[in-house]
Amino acid sequence: MKLLNKYILVFLLTTLLIFLLGGFVFYNQLQNIISEEANEELYLKKEQFLKSIEKKETLSSVNSENANFSIEPITEKITETIVDTSIYVEEADEFIPYRKLIFNATNNNQFYKVSISKSLFESDDLIETIIQSLLIIAAFLIVIIIGVNYIFAKTIWKPFFKTINKINTFDINGLNSFEKENSSVKEFQELNKAIENMTKRILTDYENIKMFSENASHEMQTPISVIRTSIENMLQSENITEKEISQLESIENAVKKLSSLNKSLLLLTKIENNQFKETKNINISDLSKNLIEQYAAIYESKKISVNTTNSDLVLNINPHLAEILISNIISNAFKHTNVRGEIKIEIIDNQFKIANSGAPLKISENEIFQRFKKNEETSDSIGLGLSIVNSIIDLYNYKINYSYTSAMHTITVDF
Amino acid sequence: MKILLIEDEPELRKSIKQFLYNEGYTVESAEDFPKASEKVFEYDYDCVLVDITIPKGNGLKIIDQLKERKSKAGIIIISAKNSLDDKINGLEIGADDYLPKPFHLSELNARIKAIIRRKSFDGNKLIVVNEISINSENRSVSVNSKDVVLTGKEYDLLLFFISNKNRIVSKNAIAEHLVGDHADQIDSHDFIYTHLKNLRKKLLEKGCADYIQTVYGIGYKFNNEITK
C-alpha cells in the first residue's frame, strides 16, 4: 500500500475516533449543562411561587392548558420530584419535551401539589443543531484533508521519486557521478546525502578494482620481461652449449605461456568488469576477411582450402572485443584443421558460421568453452581462447553453438 | 648512436643496457621522472626508450618535454600496461612506436633500428650487408644488384635478421615479430620454418651466401661473417 494511503488511513481512523469520542463527550456536557440550567430555573420558579403565596389566603386550583403551571389540593404530602415528559402540542403538531418540578405547598393548613413545567424544546433543538454542525465540520475536514493530501503529495514526493529514478539509472561505468536532488524536506535531504556517499564509495571501489586488474598485469609483466631479456642475453654468450640452449628454450616457452596467460586472464577480468564500454559500428565481414588472410598466411604450410561466403554484417560492438572474438574463433579453426583440410565461413544475416574439417574432439561439446579446457593436453595453447569468446558472447547477449557433424566442426554465432 | 633508457625496474634496466652495449650503442639510463627530465634537458639522443609508469611522474610528460625541445630523437614507449588508450595517447603526443612488455630484445632492436633509419636525414635508406642490399623505403631487396622478389612476411623476416645480425634470435621472437598479437594463438612454429625456407631459397638463387644458420632447438642466427 502506498505510504500516502497508509498515512491517510491512520489519520482518518484517528480523526474519526477523536471526533466520535469528542462528540460524545461534548454531547454529554451539553446535555448536563442544559439539564442543570433547566433544573435551576425550575427551582427558582418554585421559590418565587412559594414566596408569592405567603401572603395569600386561599389558593385556587389551577390546571392550566398552558401546562406550565398547575396546582391542586392534596391530602398528604408528596415527595418532591423532577420528571421529564413529552407533551403533544397541537399548534406545533409534535411532541414537545417538558421538564416538570412537582413540589408541596401549604396554605392555611391545606396541602397543595404544585407542578411547574419548562419546555426543553429549544435546548433539544440546540443540541441537535450543534451535533449536526459538528458532524458536518468533521466530514468536511476529512474530505478536504484527503483532497489536499493527494494534491500536495505529488509535489512533496517529487524529489523522492526523482531520487529513485536516479538510482535506477545509475551506471557504474557512467561518466557522471550521482547528483544530489535538492529538497526542503529534511528526510529526503538525508536520504540523498546517504545515497550520494554510498555511490561515491561504490565508484571508488570500482575504480580500485579496475586499477587493480591493470596494475596486476603491470606487476606480472615486468618480472616476465626480466626473465625474457635475461634469457636472450644468455643466449648470445660465446661458449654456450647445446644443453644450455635447450634449457633456455624450455624457460622461454614457459615464460611465453605465463605472459599469454596473464594477458588472457586480464582480458577476461576486464570483459567481466564491463570495462570495454565504447562501441562502434564494426563491419564483421571485413574484419573476418582480414583475419582469414592473416591466418591463412600463417598456416600456409597446412595447405588448408578456405571458402567464404559473405554478406555484409555490421554490429555495434567494442572494436577491440570484435577483433578478439573473430580472431579467436578463426585461429581456433585453423589450429584444429587437419593438413589439406578445409575451412568454410558463412556470414548471412546476423549469423557467423565457421566450419572446419578435422578429427573429432577429445573433450565433450559443452566443455570447449570452459577455461583451460584443451583438446590436446600437451598442446601449447593455454585453453582460454574460447572462454574469452564466451565472455564476449555473454556480454552482448549473443548466442554461440558448437556441433560436430559430417566430420566438420561447426561454430555458429548468432548476433 | 646514443640511447636514453627510462625504466624503473632495475633488473630489466640492467638487461636492456647490457644488450644495447653489445649492439654497439651508447646508453644512458634514468630510473625516475626527475632524473629522466634532467637527462632529456641536458643531452641529445638518437633514440629514447620510455617506460611510462616511472615513479615520481608520468613518462608521457617526458615525451612532451622532448617535443618541446624539438628533439629529433626517435621515441619508443615501453609499457607493461598494454593499454590501448595509452598507446593512442602516446602516439598522438609524438611517440614513434609503442612496445608492450614483455618484449624480446631482438624485437626492441629491430624497432630501434627502424626508427633510427626513419629519422636519419642523410637520405640514405639503404641497408647493405655484404651482397645484400635493402631499400627500406620501398621495401625492395637486391642481391649483387639483382632484384629479389620477396613476400611481405619474407621481407619482414630478412629485415629482422639483419637488424639483429650475429645474434641468436629465438623462434618465439620471430613469431611475435611476424604476427604480433596473434602469436599468442598460434600453436606451432611451422609457419616460420616455411617462410624461412622460402627466403633462403630466393636469396641463394640470386647467388647470396647462406647467412641464416639454424641454432638447434631455439632459433636462428644471421651470421654475416660467413665466407662463401
pLDDT at A172 over 90: no
Nearest to A235 among B168, B179, B190 (CB): B168
User: According to the model, what pLDDT value does residue B77 have?
Assistant: 93
Q: Does B167 touch chain A (CB under 8 A)?
A: yes
User: According to the model, what pLDDT value does residue B39 have?
Assistant: 92
CA distances from A139 to A10, A143, A256, A298, A336 (A): 16, 6, 85, 89, 85
Nearest to A226 among B15, B22, B153 (CB): B15
Q: Which residues contact A221 (CB under 8 A, 6 or more apart)?
A: A259, A262, B80, B82, B100, B101, B102
Q: Which residues contact B19 (CB under 8 A, 6 or more apart)?
A: A229, A232, A233, B105, B108, B109
pLDDT at A9 over 90: no
The answer to whether the CB atoms of B80 and A222 lie below 8 A apart is yes
What is the Cα–Cα distance from A390 to A383, expressed in whole angstroms?
Answer: 12
User: According to the model, what pLDDT value does residue B75 have?
Assistant: 93
Nearest to A320 among B16, B84, B191 (CB): B84
Centroid of chain to Cα A311: 45
For the ranges A29-33, A215-219, B149-153, B170-174, which has the lowest average pLDDT? Answer: A215-219
User: According to the model, what pLDDT value does residue A296 have?
Assistant: 86
The answer to whether the CB atoms of A294 and B153 lie below 8 A apart is no
Q: Which three three-digit cell numbers place residue A37?
A: 440550567
The answer to whether the CB atoms of A229 and B53 lie below 8 A apart is no
Mean pLDDT of all residues belonging to chain A? 83
User: According to the model, what pLDDT value does residue B183 have?
Assistant: 72
Q: Which residues contact A206 (CB under 8 A, 6 or more apart)?
A: A172
User: According to the model, what pLDDT value does residue A184 have?
Assistant: 78
Kindly report the length of chain A: 415
User: According to the model, what pLDDT value does residue B30 have?
Assistant: 93
The answer to whether the CB atoms of A335 and B18 lie below 8 A apart is no
User: According to the model, what pLDDT value does residue A79 have?
Assistant: 87
What is the Cα–Cα distance from A413 to A325, expressed in whole angstroms?
Answer: 10
The answer to whether the CB atoms of B80 and A218 lie below 8 A apart is yes
Mean pLDDT, residues A311-318 taken together: 88
Q: Does A391 touch chain B (CB under 8 A)?
A: no
User: According to the model, what pLDDT value does residue A1 have?
Assistant: 60
Nearest to B83 among A214, A227, A228 (CB): A214
Cross-strand partners of B77: B50, B98
Residue type at position A225:
S
Residue recorded with cell 633488473: B11
Q: Does A246 touch chain B (CB under 8 A)?
A: yes
User: According to the model, what pLDDT value does residue B136 have?
Assistant: 83
Q: Which three three-digit cell numbers place residue B221?
A: 642466427
Between A107 and B14, whose confidence is greater? B14
Mean pLDDT of all residues belonging to chain B? 87
Mean pLDDT, residues B21-41 taken together: 92
What backbone torsions phi and psi does residue B167 show, to the nearest 5 degrees? -115, 145
Q: Could you give the 3-state DSSP secondary structure of residue A202? A: helix
The band of A64, judged by pLDDT with boundaries at 50, 70 and 90, is low
The band of B13, judged by pLDDT with boundaries at 50, 70 and 90, is very high
The band of B106, judged by pLDDT with boundaries at 50, 70 and 90, is very high
The answer to whether the CB atoms of B184 and A298 lie below 8 A apart is no
Mean pLDDT, residues A106-130 taken together: 81
Q: Does A148 touch chain B (CB under 8 A)?
A: no
The minimum CA-CA distance between A177 and chain B, rounded to whole Å, is: 22
Q: Does A371 touch chain B (CB under 8 A)?
A: no
The minimum CA-CA distance between A406 and chain B, rounded to whole Å, is: 25
The answer to whether the CB atoms of A218 and B188 lie below 8 A apart is no
The answer to whether the CB atoms of A245 and B218 lie below 8 A apart is yes
User: According to the model, what pLDDT value does residue B160 have?
Assistant: 93
CA distances from B14 to A351, B27, B29 (A): 52, 11, 9
The answer to whether A397 and A379 are in contact (CB under 8 A) is no
For the ranges A46-60, B17-31, B52-66, which has the lowest average pLDDT? Answer: A46-60
H or E stretch including B201?
A: helix B190-205
The answer to whether B32 and B56 are in contact (CB under 8 A) is yes
The answer to whether A124 and A97 are in contact (CB under 8 A) is yes
The answer to whether the CB atoms of A232 and B81 lie below 8 A apart is no
The answer to whether the CB atoms of A294 and B9 lie below 8 A apart is no
Mean pLDDT, residues A164-183 taken together: 74
What is the Cα–Cα distance from A331 to A164, expressed in whole angstroms?
Answer: 47
Closest residue, chain B, to A232 (C-alpha): B105
Centroid of chain to Cα A203: 21
User: According to the model, what pLDDT value does residue A251 have?
Assistant: 92
Residue recorded with cell 468536511: A140
Cis peptide before B102 (omega within 30 of 0): yes
For the ranges A72-86, A165-179, A264-278, which has the lowest average pLDDT? Answer: A165-179
Nearest to A301 among B9, B11, B190 (CB): B190
Which residue of B170, B196, B197 is the best one to mutate when testing the A interface, meaning the one whose CB has the most A CBs within 10 A? B170
Predicted confidence (pLDDT) per residue in A285-294, tens digit: 999 998 998 8
Strand ranges of the sheet holding B74-79, from the earlier edge strand across to the other edge: B26-30, B2-6, B47-51, B74-79, B97-100
Q: Which residues contact B170 (CB under 8 A, 6 or more apart)?
A: A232, A235, A249, A252, B104, B106, B218, B219
pLDDT at A66 over 60: no
Mean pLDDT, residues B158-178 taken together: 90
The minimum CA-CA distance between A351 and chain B, rounded to whole Å, is: 24
pLDDT at B157 over 80: yes
What is the Cα–Cα distance from A28 to A20, expressed in whole angstroms?
Answer: 12
What is the Cα–Cα distance from B82 to A339, expressed in whole angstroms?
Answer: 35
Closest residue, chain B, to A380 (C-alpha): B187
Contact residues on chain A for B23, CB-CB shorter than 8 A: none
- DSSP class of residue B183 equals G
The answer to whether the CB atoms of A232 and B187 lie below 8 A apart is no
Q: Could you give the 3-state DSSP secondary structure of residue A214? A: helix
The answer to whether B44 and B78 are in contact (CB under 8 A) is no
Cα torsion for A266, A314, B98, B162, to the nearest 10°?
A: 110
The minimum CA-CA distance between A353 and chain B, rounded to whole Å, is: 20
pLDDT at A367 over 80: no
Supply the pTM of this predicted model. Answer: 0.67
Q: Does A75 touch chain B (CB under 8 A)?
A: no
Using alpha carbons, select from A307, A330, A322 the residue that is nearest to residue A386.
A330
User: According to the model, what pLDDT value does residue A377 have?
Assistant: 60
Q: Which residues contact A404 (CB under 8 A, 6 or more apart)?
A: A360, A361, A365, A410
Q: Which three three-digit cell numbers place residue B22?
A: 653489445
A·B CB contacts under 8 A:
120
Pairing of the two strands B212-215 and B219-222? antiparallel
CB atoms within 10 A of CB A261: 16
The band of B228, judged by pLDDT with boundaries at 50, 70 and 90, is low
DSSP string over B96-107: SEEEESS--HHH
Mean pLDDT, residues A52-73 taken together: 68
pLDDT at A6 over 70: yes
Q: Which of A379-383, B55-59, B77-81, B200-204 shows the highest mean pLDDT?
A: B200-204
